[in-house]
């Protein structure tokens, strides 16, 4: 049987947005996920299922027992209070339900040695779970502007250098690739037991991994948005899904 991969979804409580589309009713909230994630997992040989953000740890434990791997997707900013910084006006909207749900799943994957792939927010969650910190808003005097918000999803924004002998190199077989970029936050202090395995030319971390685990890798860029235009970017999903197969 193909590996079952749980993918975390966003939590959206803007009922007017959906009502303007002719959906739902006043007071409804939604879980939502860009279809790119599911398509990437499906093309890589996995069965994607969507995980609704929740405070219900029994539900999350059931999901973990059902799944062969977890993908923590992009989304809202992580609450700076979770890495001992104050909130400020440059931090985007934070959602307690998403933070608690993603943190619980990420900690469980580490404890149970369940394969985990983090993308964008997923990288930041993994770093904070392990005691790291984030830049709340990237200083463009020091770094590139990494928020190419008006770019087409698969358009290369800049290049990253990949460490040889890393899982990212194992996937791509290249030490330099082009990536898209849709984030305004990034890793400041690296979390415990994590190592940086890719950087942009300005020195900002673009990918991390945890050794001595089946597969714990996260990227700041979005390969799920790029693989349909270039099959190279599917390789990280193939490596992840293969790590989820039962022996």
Domains of the chain in start order, with CATH, are 4-243 (3.40.50.880)
Q: What confidence tens digit (pLDDT) does each residue in 116-132 have? A: 999 999 999 999 999 99
What pLDDT is recorded for position 41? 98
Pick out the chain residues at pLDDT < 50: none
Are the beta carbons of 207 and 127 closer than 8 angstroms?
A: no
What pLDDT is recorded for position 141? 60
What pLDDT is recorded for position 146? 78
What pLDDT is recorded for position 220? 96
In order, the DSSP letters of 188-232 are EEPPTT-EEEEEETTS-EEEEE-SSSS-EEEESS-GGGTTTT-GG
Tell me the residue length of the chain.
247
What pLDDT is recorded for position 149? 78
Q: Give the residue from 158, 52, 67 showing the smallest Cα distance to 108.
A: 67
Round to whole Å and give the CA distance between 3 and 243.
9
Q: What are phi and psi of 31, to 5 degrees?
A: -100, 135
What pLDDT is recorded for position 184? 87
Q: Rg (Cα) of the chain, in Å, rounded?
A: 17
Print burial letters for 140-150: b (CB count within 10 Å at least 16), e (below 16): eeeebebbbee
What pLDDT is recorded for position 19? 86
Q: What confidence tens digit (pLDDT) does each residue in 195-226 have? A: 999 999 989 999 999 999 999 999 999 999 99
Paired tokens of 125: 């969650």
Contacts of 109 (CB under 8 A, 6+ apart): 64, 70, 115, 116, 216
């Amino acid at each position: 049987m193909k590996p079952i991969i749980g993918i975390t979804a966003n939590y959206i409580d803007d009922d007017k947005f959906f009502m303007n589309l002719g959906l739902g009713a006043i007071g409804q909230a939604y879980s939502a996920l860009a279809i790119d994630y599911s398509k990437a997992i499906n093309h890589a040989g996995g069965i994607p299922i969507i995980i609704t953000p929740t405070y219900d740890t029994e539900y999350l434990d059931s999901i973990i027992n059902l799944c062969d791997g977890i993908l923590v997707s992009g989304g809202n900013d992580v609450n700076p209070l979770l890495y001992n910084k104050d909130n400020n006006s440059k931090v985007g909207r934070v959602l307690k339900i998403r933070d608690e749900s993603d943190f619980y799943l990420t900690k469980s994957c580490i404890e149970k040695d369940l394969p985990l792939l983090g993308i964008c927010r997923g990288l930041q969650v993994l770093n904070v779970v392990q005691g790291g910190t984030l830049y709340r808003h990237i200083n463009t005097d020091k770094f590139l502007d990494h928020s190419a918000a008006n770019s087409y999803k698969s358009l290369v924004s800049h290049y990253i250098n990949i460490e040889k002998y890393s899982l990212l190199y194992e996937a791509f077989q290249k030490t330099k690739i082009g990536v898209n970029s849709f984030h305004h936050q990034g890793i400041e202090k690296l979390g415990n037991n994590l190592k940086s395995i890719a950087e942009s030319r300005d020195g900002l971390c673009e990918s991390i991994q945890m050794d001595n685990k089946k597969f714990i890798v996260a990227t700041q860029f979005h390969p799920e948005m790029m693989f349909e235009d270039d099959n190279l970017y599917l390789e990280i999903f193939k490596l992840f899904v293969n790590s989820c197969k039962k022996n």
